[in-house]
Amino acid sequence: MSRPIVIIGGDAAGMSAASKAKRLKPDLEVIVFERDQHISYAACGMPYWLGGVIDSDEKLKALPLEVARKKRGIDVRIRHEVTAIDLASKSVQVTNLETGESFAQPYDKLLIATGASAVKPPIPGLDLPGVFTLRSLTDAQRIHAYMERTQPRRAVVIGAGYIGLEMAEAMRDRQMETTVVEMLPHIMPNFDPDMVGEVAEHLAEKGVKVLVETRVTGVQQAGDHLEVATSASPEPIPADMVIVSTGVRPNVALARDAGIRLGETGAIWVDKQLRTSAPDVFAAGDCVEYYHRVLERNVWIPLAPSANKGGRIAGENMVGGQVEFPGILGTAIVKVFDDTMALTGVTERQAQENEALFGPVASVVITDRDRAGYYPGAQPIRVKIVFQQQGGRILGAQIVSRGMAGKRIDTFVAAITARMTLAEFAMLDLAYAPPFSPVYDPVLVAANVGLKKVK
C-alpha cells in the first residue's frame, strides 16, 4: 500500500501545497492535520472584520472545508494535532483533539506548515480576561465575541507594527478610545524613522493616542476594567480591552524535536526547493526562513504571499517537481486610516548594518504628488530609495502616501529583483496621464534626485 503525502498545518501554506499536489497527481492521497478548527483563512483580513468593515468572518474563509474535501479531494482533519515526527519510520504521531485518540500516520513525503504564533512578552497581567493576541481566526472570534458581549469603550494596543496599527484603526472604527503603546522610538519599526512622521500625525488626527519609547510594565484588573501601567506616566491607562501585538515566533518545536535543522533566525531551515535537512520532509509558510534576494541569506519574515507561494512550490516538489523558490524581498503594505505605508527590500538601517555585503550605501527621500499637481484629488506621496553609493544598485524602497498610491512599491519590487540601478530605474517608461501621475512619476523623481549621490 502506498503511503500518503502528509501535511502538518492547514494554513495558507499547507492548503496551497495540498491543492497543488492533488492538482498535479489527483490519485495521490493527501492528508492535512490541522490542530485548530479552521483552515486557510485570510488572516490579514481579520482586523477589518473586527473593525466592522467586513460584516462576517465567513468572508475570510478562503477555502471552505467542504470545498477542500469534496472538490479538491484533500483529506483534511481538523482538531488533529501532530505531536511528533519520526524520521526513521517516516511517520507522524497524531492526536485527535476531539476524542483524545492517538495514532501513528506514515508518510511518503511530509510538509511542515506549522505557521507562527503570537508572542506575549513577559509582562504581568497579560493572561487576564480582556487581553488578547490576534494571530488565528479563533483569536479573532474570541475578540469579536468579547466585544459583542462587553461593548468595550477603551482599547490599549501594545505594539505599533502592522497588526497593531490595523487594530488601532479597527478599534477607532468601533468608536473606541484607543491608545497604542510602542517600546521602540517610532511607530512601524520596520520602516526608517524618516518615513513615519506623517502617519504618526495622521493617527493623532484620527484620534489614536500613540506613546512611543514606552514600555508596558503590567496590566491589572481594576473593578470592571483593566489598567495598563506604562513607563510613560505613573498614571495607568484605563482600558476595557488590550490587544498584544508585539510579535510572533515560528512554530518549530515539532521540527526541532525531530532533529530537523533550524536556521540562524530560529525558523526552520529550507533549501530553495523548500526541502528541510531531513529526507522527504519539506517545510513552507510562516514556520520557515526564506532566502532574501537582497540580503542574500535566509531571513524570517512571515507574510501571506510567501506562505502561499512557498506552499505551492512545496506541493509541486512533494510530487516530484524540482521547482525553486527564488526568495523574498520582505515586501509589505499597510493601510493606516487614509494613509498607506509600503516597503520592499532593505531599509537604510538594514543596509547600513550590512555594509560588508553592500559597501557604502546612500538614500534619497522626496515628497511629491501622486497625480498631476493640477488634477483634483492629487495626494501627497513620499518616496525613499536606498541604494549602493558605488553604481547605484537599488537595495530597498519605502513609500508613504495618502490613498492607493503605495502599491507603486511593486515597481521597485520588479526593479530590485532585476538588480536595477538608479540610472536604469530613472529611465523606466512608466505610465503617465494626469489622473494617475505627474509626467515624472514620483518614483522616477526619487531616482533622479538619488542619482546625484551615486559615484
Q: Does 409 bind its own copies (CB under 8 A)?
A: yes
**Angle between the N-to-C axes of helices 304-318 and 12-24, in degrees from 0 to 180, rounded to the nearest 10:** 30
* The one segment of 72-80, 88-96, 170-178, 406-414 that binds its own copies by CB under 8 A: 406-414
Q: Does 298 bind its own copies (CB under 8 A)?
A: no
Nearer to its own copies, 259 or 435 (CB): 435
Site string for its own copies, 57-96 (x = CB under 8 A): --xx-x----------------------------------
Of the residues 23, 24, 37, 44, only one is catalytic, namely 44
Q: Does 222 bind its own copies (CB under 8 A)?
A: no
Q: Does 387 bind its own copies (CB under 8 A)?
A: no
Of the candidates 121, 123, 128, 120, which has an alpha carbon nearest to the alpha carbon of residue 225? Answer: 128
287 assigned to active site:
no
* The one segment of 69-77, 131-139, 273-281, 424-432 that binds its own copies by CB under 8 A: 424-432
Q: Does 346 bind its own copies (CB under 8 A)?
A: no
Nearer to its own copies, 166 or 177 (CB): 166
Near its own copies by CB under 8 A: residue from 67, 212, 303, 449: 303
Write down the least CB distance from residue 166 to its own copies, Å: 8
Write down the least CB distance from residue 310 to its own copies, Å: 10
Q: Does 272 bind its own copies (CB under 8 A)?
A: no
Site for its own copies in 9-28 (CB under 8 A): 12
* The one segment of 27-35, 37-45, 193-201, 233-241 that binds its own copies by CB under 8 A: 37-45
Q: Does 408 bind its own copies (CB under 8 A)?
A: yes
Near its own copies by CB under 8 A: residue from 311, 330, 392, 396: 330
Nearer to its own copies, 45 or 189 (CB): 45
Q: Does 42 bind its own copies (CB under 8 A)?
A: yes
Q: What is the spatial distance between Cα 229 and Cα 156, in angstroms, rounded to a whole number?
A: 11
**Exposure b/e, 257-269, CB count within 10 A at least 16 = b:** ebebebbebebbb
Q: Does 280 bind its own copies (CB under 8 A)?
A: no
Q: Does 424 bind its own copies (CB under 8 A)?
A: yes
Near its own copies by CB under 8 A: residue from 354, 389, 417, 421: 417
β-partners of residue 375 are none
Q: Does 414 bind its own copies (CB under 8 A)?
A: yes
Nearer to its own copies, 213 or 324 (CB): 324
Q: What is the spatial distance between Cα 91 and Cα 109, in angstroms, rounded to a whole number?
A: 10
Write down the least CB distance from residue 90 to its own copies, Å: 30
Write down the least CB distance from residue 332 to its own copies, Å: 7
Q: What is the spatial distance between Cα 51 and Cα 325, in angstroms, rounded to a whole number?
A: 35
Write down the least CB distance from residue 47 to its own copies, Å: 9
What residues contact 93, with CB distance under 8 A and at least 6 apart?
82, 83, 84, 85, 86, 102, 103, 104, 105
Near its own copies by CB under 8 A: residue from 306, 350, 388, 398: 306
Q: Does 44 bind its own copies (CB under 8 A)?
A: yes
Strand arrangement, sheet containing 332-336:
332-336, 339-345, 394-402, 380-388, 361-369
Q: Does 333 bind its own copies (CB under 8 A)?
A: yes
Catalytic positions: 44
Using CB under 8 A as the criterion, which residues of the chain lie in contact with its own copies when the complex forms? 12, 42, 44-45, 48, 53-54, 59-60, 62, 293, 303-306, 308-309, 325-335, 340, 342, 344, 372, 374-376, 403-415, 417-418, 420, 424-425, 427-437, 439-441, 443
